[in-house]
């Protein structure tokens, strides 16, 4: 009897085994290893030893920090947040259009168009923006020809170019989840709203938007996390004051081989992202993050 | 439904179980999984609570008798060669004439891999293997001089080259490429190709020649200057600008150099990782710190308005070097290759394709006469003049990690802001 009970009890564990193994090997162990490396001291020649050096966090982010990592992190969060907002403002109408206004046979080709940019290497796409936005690129040439921009007006090498690049590169990741959610909304909801004398505007804000919240939230997760940690856009499109935390992590790891610094920076980045997204989920008014996703 | 039905099991067993037995809650399940995962992670943590340093490597250069070491190795007929993309002569099908001739002459089959895109990433990949005394899978690799290469030499990770088996290298290597500051005896490295870092400018935009680093500070160029996003490059340029020989510079000189860079800072638009050549053509910038080879390609590609200049204060030379890891499986085959590319006719084939500075001056005549390419043969960016070489300096060679860190601490704030 006890054996049968044990067997029955063990079924869910057995089912969870693969998923748990995946999480342990690819998430938990790397995470703990990263946190422990951040608490090491040493250098690449002498090696790094775990000395529980919690002070490194204060050293890197405290008021007397030699390198302004807090600034790089703040800048990354700001740029990432701006890029996320842009992808929502631009991506939502696109997803809405694809879900409700496009004839069925056009949906697949148009969706493919959204995803198509992902077929080209991320670096090449970003680099091409450098060409398009450059001093003699098509955009500035037109703007100057129309006398809308002076000879010293720059787009490339500014914060705006970096934010634009981040938004462009993450655009499909915002459109797809919103589209997937909108697609599933029962059209009778809109009829019901209309029957209850809701204008199209009120109907949208009272039915469609709340019902697509989960899609927006997934999109935000994908875009915000990806943008804040990105080291490429600021390198290719940014100027001399757009250095972001992703570049700092890459440089401290690859060039200076400060593994402890790189790990600590990553840990703080993860923590900052986690806190912001969790706070956002609470602010959005649900008890549980899962209800949103 | 009577009690009898339940007793006889007519009710759905799943429902019955649900009614009578406590479900395993999601939270409880996570707790159980967490305990398991925690134990696994803890054990992983305990085994990984230090990262060995490069100084702890077992091979010490001095302790090895290199004559005996080479005597114990044989040619095995295979060579695994790691190089940078587009860095050897290739025809339209990607076949290399020089590699073909090497195989014909020596019978050694070459696995030529274009796997090196930057030194840091390649170093990060091979360093743990070399530290553990394992083969990296490559017998010959091409690495630029810098902190990583110095580390590899200092840690005893590179086989010492047997000059007695390298007659072409001894006879044909340019005197200016032999014995560089980072490898005074040319015992661990042999130059594959080199290049200079000086200045490039767009003549149409500047309206006249740029001659020195001092010109960069002129107010009319404010906002039109680009520098390379590499603290060794802009640091060395600044040292030259303030009149200090980089190889002999001190930490105090570095601080003075940073003052110069801070003075230049308002004029700089951007620190370029790549793409500065496009920016020069586009007019995003007028003047930029530049690699000689890039400017040669621009000129050859129909952009004569972009000029390379050796600043009055001097330029620096970098070398991409062939090295043999001490753990190489086929070191003799690698040594044969090093010597082979120092044959003038082979050096000519390579230089005529890649257009960087050739380590073999004798290749110039062959490119002009036999390959019929005077544009390459007569370019000072491929075969530098004596006047250019007189103004050419080596980079500072880092003594150890603390020295390297001091450089980074001083120069990083310039481009990382």
Strand-pairing partners, residue B50, are A49
Say what the pLDDT of residue A90 is.
Answer: 97
Give the percent of chain B with pLDDT over 70.
87
Strand-pairing partners, residue B393, are B316
Q: Is the pLDDT of residue B96 over 50?
A: yes
What are the pLDDT digits (tens) for B321-355? Answer: 999 999 999 999 999 999 999 999 999 999 999 99
Say what the pLDDT of residue A5 is.
Answer: 79
Rounded to the nearest angstrom, the minimum Cα separation between A283 and chain B is 23
CA–CA dist A125, A133 (Å, integer)? 12
Confidence of residue B17 (pLDDT cuts 50, 70, 90): very low
Q: Is the pLDDT of residue B6 over 60?
A: no
Chain A neighbors of B144, CB-CB under 8 A = none
Confidence of residue B61 (pLDDT cuts 50, 70, 90): low
Say what the pLDDT of residue A4 is.
Answer: 80
> Quick one: closest CA in B to A44, which residue?
B53
Which tokens hold the place of A197? Answer: 């004398």
Q: Is the pLDDT of residue B242 over 80?
A: yes
Domain ranges of chain B: 70-417
Q: What is the mean pLDDT of chain B?
A: 88
Q: Which helix (H) or strand (E) holds B392?
A: strand B392-393
A45 burial (CB, 10 Å; 0-12 / 13-18 / 19+) is middle
> Judged by CB atoms within 8 Å, which residues 138-197 of B form the interface with A?
151
Say what the pLDDT of residue B163 is.
Answer: 95
CA–CA dist A206, A190 (Å, integer)? 10
* Contact status of A150 with chain B (Cβ, < 8 Å): no
> Judged by CB atoms within 8 Å, which residues 112-131 of B form the interface with A?
120-121, 124
Better-scored residue on pLDDT, B284 or A93? A93
Is this complex scored with an ipTM above 0.85? no
Say what the pLDDT of residue A262 is.
Answer: 96
Q: Name the CATH topology of B70-417.
A: D-Maltodextrin-Binding Protein; domain 2 (3.40.190)
- Owner of token pair 């980045």: A269
Could you tell me if A75 and A234 are in contact, meaning their C-beta atoms sit under 8 angstroms apart? no
Rounded to the nearest angstrom, the minimum Cα separation between B131 and chain A is 11
Phi/psi of residue B285, nearest 5 degrees: -135, 160
* Contact status of B22 with chain A (Cβ, < 8 Å): no
CA–CA dist A286, A275 (Å, integer)? 16
Identify the structural domains of chain A with CATH numbers, from first to last: 68-292 (1.10.3720.10)
DSSP A100: I
Say what the pLDDT of residue B23 is.
Answer: 46
Say what the pLDDT of residue B21 is.
Answer: 47
Which tokens hold the place of B83? Answer: 């190089």
- Which among A198, A224, A222, A228 has a CA at the least distance from the CA of A210? A198
- What is A8-46 written as a DSSP string? HHHHHHHHHHHHHHHHIIIIIHHHHHHHHHHTEEEETTT
* Contact status of A131 with chain B (Cβ, < 8 Å): yes
Q: What's the farthest any 2 CA atoms get from each other in chain A?
A: 87
**SS3 state at A65:** coil
Could you tell me if B360 and B199 are in contact, meaning their C-beta atoms sit under 8 angstroms apart? no
* Contact status of B1 with chain A (Cβ, < 8 Å): no
* Whether the predicted model's global pTM rises above the 0.90 cut: no
Across the interface, do A243 and B40 touch by the CB < 8 Å criterion?
Answer: no
Say what the pLDDT of residue B48 is.
Answer: 55
* Contact status of B56 with chain A (Cβ, < 8 Å): yes
B297 burial (CB, 10 Å; 0-12 / 13-18 / 19+) is middle
CA–CA dist B11, A95 (Å, integer)? 47
CA–CA dist B389, B2 (Å, integer)? 106
Say what the pLDDT of residue B56 is.
Answer: 54
- Which among A17, A274, A31 has a CA at the least distance from the CA of B41? A31
**Which residue positions in chain A have pLDDT lower than 50?**
293
* Contact status of A104 with chain B (Cβ, < 8 Å): no
Phi/psi of residue B120, nearest 5 degrees: -60, -45
What are the pLDDT digits (tens) for B167-213? Answer: 999 999 998 889 999 999 999 999 999 999 999 999 999 999 999 99
């Amino acid at each position: 009897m006890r054996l049968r009970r044990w067997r029955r009890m063990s079924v869910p564990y057995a089912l969870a085994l693969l998923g748990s193994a995946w999480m342990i090997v690819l998430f938990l162990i790397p995470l703990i290893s990263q946190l422990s490396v951040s608490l090491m001291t040493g250098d690449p020649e002498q090696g790094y030893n775990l000395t529980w050096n919690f002070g490194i966090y204060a050293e890197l982010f405290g008021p007397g920090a030699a390198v302004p990592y807090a600034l790089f992190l703040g800048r990354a969060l700001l740029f990432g947040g701006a890029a996320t907002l842009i992808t929502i403002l631009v991506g939502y109408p696109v997803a809405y259009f694809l879900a409700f206004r496009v004839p069925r046979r056009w949906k697949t080709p148009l969706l493919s168009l959204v995803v198509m940019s992902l077929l080209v290497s991320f670096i090449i796409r970003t680099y091409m923006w450098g060409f398009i936005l450059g001093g003699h690129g098509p955009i500035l040439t037109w703007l100057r020809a129309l006398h809308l921009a002076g000879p010293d007006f720059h787009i490339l090498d500014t914060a705006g170019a970096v934010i634009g690049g981040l938004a462009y590169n993450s655009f499909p990741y915002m459109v797809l989840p919103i589209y997937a959610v909108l697609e599933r909304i029962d059209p009778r909801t809109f009829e019901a709203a209309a029957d209850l004398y809701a204008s199209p505007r009120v109907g949208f804000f009272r039915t469609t938007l709340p019902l697509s919240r989960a899609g927006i939230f997934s999109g935000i997760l994908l875009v915000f996390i990806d943008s804040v940690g990105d080291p490429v856009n600021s390198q290719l499109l940014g100027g001399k004051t757009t250095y972001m935390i992703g570049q700092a992590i890459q440089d401290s790891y690859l060039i200076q081989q400060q593994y402890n610094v790189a790990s600590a920076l990553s840990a703080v980045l993860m923590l900052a992202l986690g806190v912001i997204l969790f706070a956002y989920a609470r602010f959005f008014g649900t008890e549980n993050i899962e209800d949103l996703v | 439904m009577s009690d009898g039905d339940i007793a006889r099991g007519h009710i759905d067993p799943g429902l019955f179980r649900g009614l009578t037995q406590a479900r395993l809650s999601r939270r409880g399940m996570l707790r159980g999984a967490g305990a398991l995962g925690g134990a696994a992670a803890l054990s992983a943590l305990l085994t990984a609570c230090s990262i060995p340093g490069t100084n702890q490597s077992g091979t010490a250069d001095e302790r090895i008798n290199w004559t005996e070491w080479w005597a114990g190795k044989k040619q095995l007929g295979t060579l695994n060669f790691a190089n940078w993309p587009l860095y050897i002569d290739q025809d339209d099908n990607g076949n290399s004439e020089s590699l073909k001739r090497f195989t014909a002459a020596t019978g050694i089959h070459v696995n030529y891999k274009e796997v090196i895109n930057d030194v840091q990433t390649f170093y990060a990949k091979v360093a743990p293997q070399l530290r553990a005394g394992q083969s990296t899978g490559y017998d010959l690799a091409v690495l630029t001089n810098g902190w990583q290469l110095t580390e590899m030499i200092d840690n005893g990770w590179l086989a010492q080259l047997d000059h007695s088996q390298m007659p072409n290298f001894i006879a044909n290597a340019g005197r200016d490429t032999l014995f560089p500051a980072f490898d005074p005896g040319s015992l661990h490295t042999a130059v594959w190709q080199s290049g200079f870092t000086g200045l490039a400018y767009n003549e149409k935009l500047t309206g006249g020649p740029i001659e020195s680093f001092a010109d960069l500070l002129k107010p009319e160029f404010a906002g039109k200057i680009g520098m390379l996003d590499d603290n060794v490059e802009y640091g060395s340029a600044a040292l030259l600008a303030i009149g200090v020989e980089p190889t002999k510079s001190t930490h105090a000189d570095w601080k003075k150099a940073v003052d110069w860079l801070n003075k230049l800072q308002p004029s700089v638009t951007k620190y370029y990782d790549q793409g500065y050549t496009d920016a020069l053509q586009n007019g995003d910038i007028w003047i930029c710190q530049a690699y000689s080879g890039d400017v040669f390609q621009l000129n050859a590609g129909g952009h004569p308005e972009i000029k390379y200049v050796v600043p009055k204060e001097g330029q620096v030379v970098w070398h991409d070097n062939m090295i043999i890891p001490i753990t190489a499986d086929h070191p003799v085959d690698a040594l044969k290759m090093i010597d082979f590319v120092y044959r003038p006719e082979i050096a000519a084939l390579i230089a005529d394709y890649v257009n960087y500075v050739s380590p073999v001056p004798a290749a110039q005549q062959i490119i002009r006469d036999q390959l019929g390419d005077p544009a390459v043969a007569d370019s000072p960016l491929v075969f530098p003049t004596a006047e250019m070489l007189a103004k050419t300096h080596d980079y500072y060679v880092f003594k150890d990690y603390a020295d390297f860190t001091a450089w980074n601490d001083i120069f990083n704030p310039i481009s990382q802001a």
